[in-house]
Structure 1
Amino acid sequence: MTDAVHDRLSRNLASGALTLALADIAEEAGRVILPFWRSDMAVQTKADESPVTLADQKAEALILQLLEGLYPGVQAVAEEQSEAQGKPDAAADWFWLIDPLDGTRGFVKGGEAFTVNIALVHQGAVVAGVVSAPATGLTWRSDAGSCREGKGASRRRFGEAWQPIRVRDRPREGLALLSHSVSDAEAERLAARHGCTRWQGTDSSLKFCLIAEGRFDAYPRSGPISEWDTAAGQAVLEAAGGRVLAENGQPLAYGKPGFVNGPFVAIGG
Structure 2
Amino acid sequence: MTTSSLPILDRDLQSGDLTLKLAEIAEEAARLILPFWRSGTAVETKSDDSPVTQADRAAEALILERLAALYPGVQMVAEEAVAADGAPTQTDDWFWLIDPLDGTRGFVRGGEAFTVNIALIHEGYPVAGVVTAPASETTWRSDRPGGGALRRQYGAVHEGEAHAGAEWRPIAVRDRPQEGVALLSHSITDEEATRLAARHGCTHWQGTDSSLKFCLIAEGRFDAYPRTGPTSEWDTAAGQAVLEAAGGRVLAEDGQRFRYGKPRFLNGPFVAIGG
2:84 is matched with which residue? 84
1:107 is matched with which residue? 107
CA shift for structure 1 position 223: 1.4
Residue type of the alignment partner of 2:154: F
1:228 counterpart (234, 240, 246): 234
What's the TM-score once normalised by structure 2's chain length? Answer: 0.95
1:59 is matched with which residue? 59
CA shift for structure 1 position 42: 0.6
2:224 counterpart (215, 218, 221): 218
Distance 2:207 2:113 in 1: 11
Residue type of the alignment partner of 2:152: R
- Name stretches of at least 5 consecutive residues in structure 2 with no aligned partner: 156-165
2:46 is matched with which residue? 46
Answer with 155-164 or 49-58: which moved more.
155-164
* Aligned residue pairs, count: 265
2:151 is matched with which residue? 155
1:129 is matched with which residue? 129
Distance 1:137 1:242 in 2: 24
2:197 is matched with which residue? 191
Distance 2:183 2:67 in 1: 31
Computed over aligned residues only, the root mean square deviation of the Cα atoms, in angstroms, reads 0.6
- Name stretches of at least 5 consecutive residues in structure 1 with no aligned partner: none
Is 1:240 matched with 2:246? Answer: yes
Residue type of the alignment partner of 1:180: H
CA shift for structure 1 position 259: 0.4
Equivalent position SS for 1:140? strand
Provide, for residues 205-255 of structure 1, a one-character-per-residue CA deviation record: whole Å limited to 9, x for no partner: 000000000000000001121000000000000000000000111110000
CA shift for structure 1 position 2: 2.1
Residue type of the alignment partner of 1:230: T
Equivalent residues of 2:120, 2:126 under 8 A apart: yes
Residue type of the alignment partner of 1:183: T
Distance 2:41 2:211 in 1: 23
Distance 1:224 1:58 in 2: 25
Distance 1:268 1:38 in 2: 33
Distance 1:125 1:210 in 2: 21
CA shift for structure 1 position 4: 1.9
Equivalent position SS for 2:81? helix
Equivalent position SS for 1:219? strand
Residue type of the alignment partner of 2:151: R
Residue type of the alignment partner of 1:121: I
Distance 2:101 2:257 in 1: 24
Residue type of the alignment partner of 1:236: V
1:36 is matched with which residue? 36
> What pairs up with 1:14-29 in 2 under 5 angstroms?
14-29=14-29
Equivalent position SS for 1:7? helix
CA shift for structure 1 position 81: 0.4
Q: Which runs of at least 4 in structure 1 moved beyond 4 Å after TM superposition?
A: none
Residue type of the alignment partner of 1:200: Q
Residue type of the alignment partner of 1:157: Q
> What pairs up with 1:166-205 in 2 under 5 angstroms?
166-205=172-211
2:120 is matched with which residue? 120
Distance 1:205 1:221 in 2: 12
Provide, for residues 148-168 of structure 1, a one-character-per-residue CA deviation record: whole Å limited to 9, x for no partner: x4x300000015110000000
What's the TM-score once normalised by structure 1's chain length? Answer: 0.98
Provide, for residues 119-166 of structure 1, a one-character-per-residue CA deviation record: whole Å limited to 9, x for no partner: 000010110000000000100000012xxx4x3000000151100000
CA shift for structure 1 position 172: 0.3
Is 1:259 matched with 2:265? Answer: yes
Equivalent position SS for 1:3? coil
